[in-house]
A and B are shown apart, each in its own frame.
Chain A
Amino acid sequence: MRIGQRRALTASQQFINLKANALTAGGNGEPRAGAFVWRFEATPSPLSRVYVLRIEYRQGDTPDVYVERPNLKLLAEGRRLPHVYQQDPARLCLYLPRTYEWQPWMRIDNTIVPWAILWLFYFEEWLSSDEWKGGGEHPLESDLPGRRRKRMRFHDQAGAT
């Protein structure tokens, strides 16, 4: 089967996988028609904080990952958070939209979730070193779907004030 031909997972399949994977099984969520919200605790290392994350997914769209607690903006003490679409509450930029790093046939619990944990790991390190050691790329306008572009611009403006 070629990549382009794989069939997208449904929102309820993604939901069931999140419920079953040990990484996220302790969480809870609300399935809706073609969409869901899943909230769970995650920690990037035994010496790290325990964070509460929220994944919002609507079938056909890309998953959004928010850090609900603790407030990352407060932890950053005035610095702008790296690799986020939105500063507060932080919405994480976990992969390059223009590549095939994430596609709708991929399980969120096997991709987005470990990437979010990895993000948190580099985030804690960034808090002390001020240097993002997780690598990554700067966004291009063309990477962002219309909805995102608008939202990002909005938050950039909000952050600049």
Chain B
Amino acid sequence: MYADQRTIMRNAQLVGVLERLCQGLELNDSQFELAKARYDAVGRWLAGAEEKLIRTVLIYPQGSTAIGTTVKPIGRIEHDVDLVSHVVEPDQLISPAALKSAIGNRLRSNGQYAPILEEMGRCWRINYAGEFHLDITPSIPNPGCPKGGVLVPDKTLKAWTPSNPKGYKTLFLERAKIMPQMRLSKSMGAMDSARSLVEPYPEQVGFKGILPRTVQLSKRHRDIYFQELDPSLAPISIIITTLASRAYEFCARNNVYDSELDLLCDVVRYMPRFMEVDNSSGRYQWFIWNETTELENFAEKWNADPRRANAFYVWHAKLLADLESLTHIEGLDLLTKRLGSAFGSAPATRALDSLVEPVSAARRTGRLTAAPVVGLSTGALASSTAVRANTFHGSDSS
């Protein structure tokens, strides 16, 4: 029972640490509000255009900004905020290049945007140095899509290609809302006493949502993992997000878990099951379909360059091993080290600080207690002993 109690507490604390780690990596609320104010202003500027085409443009977030899975890029301060500039009623069948340049012209005519506007392959970037950049991709309705999808420029800007940012967001958020089935511990007694321990321990936090956190941790792990290798082979975020959301739906509906951490690991474990692999033609072909529109295969590039598929499998095995190994680590120092190598040392250190600071705060206010098996906590528990004020003696540099 002691062992159970410690395991339950370990898992709960690990979840708290991973949660803090993700909080440190994502666009925070005030950054998000600022980004929203900025893209709303862009929307108003476009709406004030003389050209009817541009006047009807709607701006809305897509991708990680829309679904709450942003991860700070490595090596620069600015977050990516991906936006769609959607023309509701294009007059005629306008070409992607023409629509993009019309939007660019309007943006450039604004003295604020002109100096920080940058042309990218398929989109316009407004670069707010030190904060984020807004990537604005043009889109038009896709009359051929029964799911309400849109068309966006392909990479060459020569043709329209199907996409469905709003449908994708809706599906992702629906899946994220599925309540996983959690098992009450084999030993209810252990669970109950662990609960009473979990509650007072330094502001115990659960995951904001297991699915978004799984996506963020996976994306961050990918960024770190491929940093030293060939980053161009790294699986793109939409692949990770799609596989994780399908795996989460499957796991949450079909399996029962002891802890959120077990669920997190299992979602990652199931990810590869949701891609289709076909080798009937003698060579491997991968398909990770966009479920919200026709004919968008997120793994298209893998079929041109199978090294990408291979890189996915190797990275995925490492991600799973790294997550699973967390449950066996003993030592806050070793945990920091392991989290650092998997997710970057700065966010790992900050996440661990969130375990240390509440202990120091409780100590200062005389609320700290010590209990067998689980150590320090911030509430009075049965079988716990108050930690009275003390002053550590001795030189730390002797």
Contact = CB atoms under 8 A, between A and B. Distances in A.
Interface of A: 21-23, 25-26, 42-50, 75, 80, 82-85, 93-97, 99, 101-102, 109-111, 113-115, 117-119, 121-122, 124-125, 127-129, 132-139, 143, 156, 159
B333 A121 contact: no
Contact of B392 (A22, A45, A134): A134
Contact of A121 (B330, B373, B375, B389): B375
B232 interface: no
A156 B394 CA distance: 12
Given A110-B386, A115-B387, A47 B332 contact: yes
A127 B335 CA distance: 11
Chain B interface main SS type? mixed
B386 A138 contact: no
Contacts of A45: 13, 332, 355, 374-376
B332 A22 contact: no
A23 B393 contact: no
Given A45-B375, A139-B395, A113 B335 contact: no
Interface string B109-141: 000000000000000000000000000000000
Interface in B174-201: none
Nearest to B17: A47
A23 B387 CA distance: 12
A134 to B, nearest CB: 5
3 closest A-B pairs by beta carbon, nearest first, are: A136-B392, A93-B394, A82-B396
A118 B349 contact: no
A129 B386 CA distance: 27
B106 interface: no
A115 B356 contact: no
B375 A117 contact: yes
B394 A46 contact: no
Interface of B: 6, 9-10, 12-14, 17, 329-333, 335-337, 349, 352, 355-356, 359-360, 363, 368-376, 383-398
Given A96-B391, A109-B385, A128-B333, A118 B397 contact: no
Given A117-B375, A125-B332, A47 B392 contact: no
Contacts of B355: 45, 47
B327 to A, nearest CB: 10
A82 B363 contact: no
Contacts of A111: 388, 390
B370 A47 contact: no
B121 to A, nearest CB: 42
Contact of B375 (A21, A44, A109, A135): A44
A75 to B, nearest CB: 8
Contacts of B392: 83, 93-95, 119, 122, 132, 134-137
Question: DSSP majority for the A interface?
Answer: loop
14 contacts: A22-B383, A23-B385, A46-B6, A46-B10, A46-B373, A47-B330, A48-B331, A82-B397, A95-B391, A96-B391, A101-B389, A118-B368, A138-B394, A143-B393
B329 to A, nearest CB: 7
A117 B370 contact: yes
Given A85-B394, A97-B393, A128-B333, A47 B13 contact: yes
Contacts of B369: 114
Contacts of A135: 391-392
Nearest to A22: B383
Contacts of A94: 390, 392-393
B397 A50 contact: no
A88 to B, nearest CB: 14
B393 A128 contact: no
Given A82-B394, A93-B392, A128-B352, A113 B385 contact: yes
Nearest to A43: B375
A114 B394 contact: no
A114 B370 contact: yes
B323 to A, nearest CB: 15
